Amino acid sequence: MADAVRTVLRGAKVFDGSGAPVRTADVCFEGDRIVSVEEGSAEAGAAQRFDLADCCILPGLFQSHFHSGFGHFGSGTQAPMLGLEAPTALLAMLAVHNAGTALDAGVTSLIGSSNPDYLDVNLREAILHGYAEGPRIWAGSHELTASGAQEDGENRSWFMRLGNHGVVWKLDGADAFRRATREELGRGCDVIKVALGPGHGASPAEERCNLTDAELEAVVETAHDRGRFVRAHAPSKRAILASVRIGVDIIDHADRIDAECIDAVVASGAAVCPTGLWNKRFLEFAENWDTASQGPMPIGDGFPETPDETARRIRGVRADYEHSVEMLPELVRAGIPLLAGDDFGTPLLPHGDYVAELETYVKDFGIEASEVLLFATRNPARTMRCGDSLGQVAAGFQADLLVVEGDPSNDIGALRRVRAVIQSGRVVRGAL
């Protein structure tokens, strides 16, 4: 329970998440709610005062593309598909660890992407029971995909007869997608993830969409009918346009987005989660890999390839990345809500390295730090229809606050200097 003592944080810079510039103000909260944000505010009745003149107070951050069960199993077995690296019990403990790591970084809200065995749902329940500490969670589903799609772990490993184990649930036909969506929602998922086609990750986008319109419509109708959300792995233009046409809420990656897509996304009101750090890290790794001396590139699509094919694949990923670097500022100018979050937990992106993604949007994509901070605060809160209670430092909002040393609206790297993390009015990390 939050302490019902009225607390005032005095003299800090405040990035309030409304889009307004940083200002100096006192933030007063009581219980789990913010009471006021004003210059020289409601000191009356405040039992606790903390002077934070060298700090900045922000809304607790969102990670909007979170894989709770991703981690690096250095000495483990080579899994044919994600979610099968280790027994579920071990993955669940990893998920608890990842949730704690997120809290360390000031992340107080998570929007799940895909995960195996309902890890997100159970993680949320463990936190509710007090068995674990972690952010509030919108639980992601399995990754719903079509047979033979890139995510289908049985493409290369068909002889293992994996079926629907691991992170992927493969389906065919609108009825199958509708039934799977109903089951995922019934088991507690909030965000249904669908995989619409190749691209992002380790290979360039291909202009196709793995689901038919009828299949995707079945998912979106079912989820929306129950007040839940749909997110789509959509690297290609065709997948982006299908997503907005049918009403997907969060478009992941969107590597091939162009002017036509931007207009369509704006009209639909969807958010885009670009996950820009993965591409950068993957290209740093892949372009420095020498197949002649080091052997085949270890991150691929599961099938063996010649050195020429590998080189072509990497060039394709580079082209998609350069395109997205060019386009992202256009998305911001068009007013599309962008969300921060990436494939943390994959080998090149350890959980906890969340600030690096935000730094990439500033340094490599050329977007103002004050705008990038909205990717992790106001934008995701609005996308999840909680824009009136989360994602801003304002009277009446949830007292989810991040206190850092310095001013991240000028120097985004200041987010690494966490002084304290407050969740629902309780200091859960650091000290004031």
Residues that bind Zn ion (CB under 5 A): 113, 343
Smaller CB distance to Zn ion: residue 113 or 150?
113
Measuring CA to CA, which residue among 29, 30, 1, 24 is closest to residue 12?
24
Smaller CB distance to Zn ion: residue 190 or 343?
343
CB of 342 to Zn ion, least distance (A): 8
CB of 251 to Zn ion, least distance (A): 13
CB of 168 to Zn ion, least distance (A): 12
Q: Which two tokens stand for residue 138?
A: 């919108």
Q: Which two tokens stand for residue 117?
A: 């065995």
CB of 89 to Zn ion, least distance (A): 23
Smaller CB distance to Zn ion: residue 68 or 424?
68
> Are 68 and 95 within 8 A, CB to CB?
yes
Smaller CB distance to Zn ion: residue 16 or 343?
343
CB of 9 to Zn ion, least distance (A): 35
Smaller CB distance to Zn ion: residue 27 or 191?
191
Smaller CB distance to Zn ion: residue 184 or 343?
343
CB of 201 to Zn ion, least distance (A): 8
CB of 6 to Zn ion, least distance (A): 41
Smaller CB distance to Zn ion: residue 113 or 409?
113
Please list the residues that pair with 10 across neighbouring strands.
Answer: 51
CB of 339 to Zn ion, least distance (A): 12
Smaller CB distance to Zn ion: residue 113 or 379?
113
Q: Which two tokens stand for residue 372?
A: 């990038």
Smaller CB distance to Zn ion: residue 255 or 343?
343
Measured CA to CA in angstroms, residue 60 lies from 90, 312, 427 at distances of 28, 42, 12
Smaller CB distance to Zn ion: residue 15 or 354?
354
Query: Which single residue is written with the structure tokens 């969102």?
Result: 62
What φ, ψ does residue 67 adopt, rounded to 5°? Answer: -105, 100
Q: Which two tokens stand for residue 209?
A: 């969409």
CB of 66 to Zn ion, least distance (A): 9
CB of 370 to Zn ion, least distance (A): 27
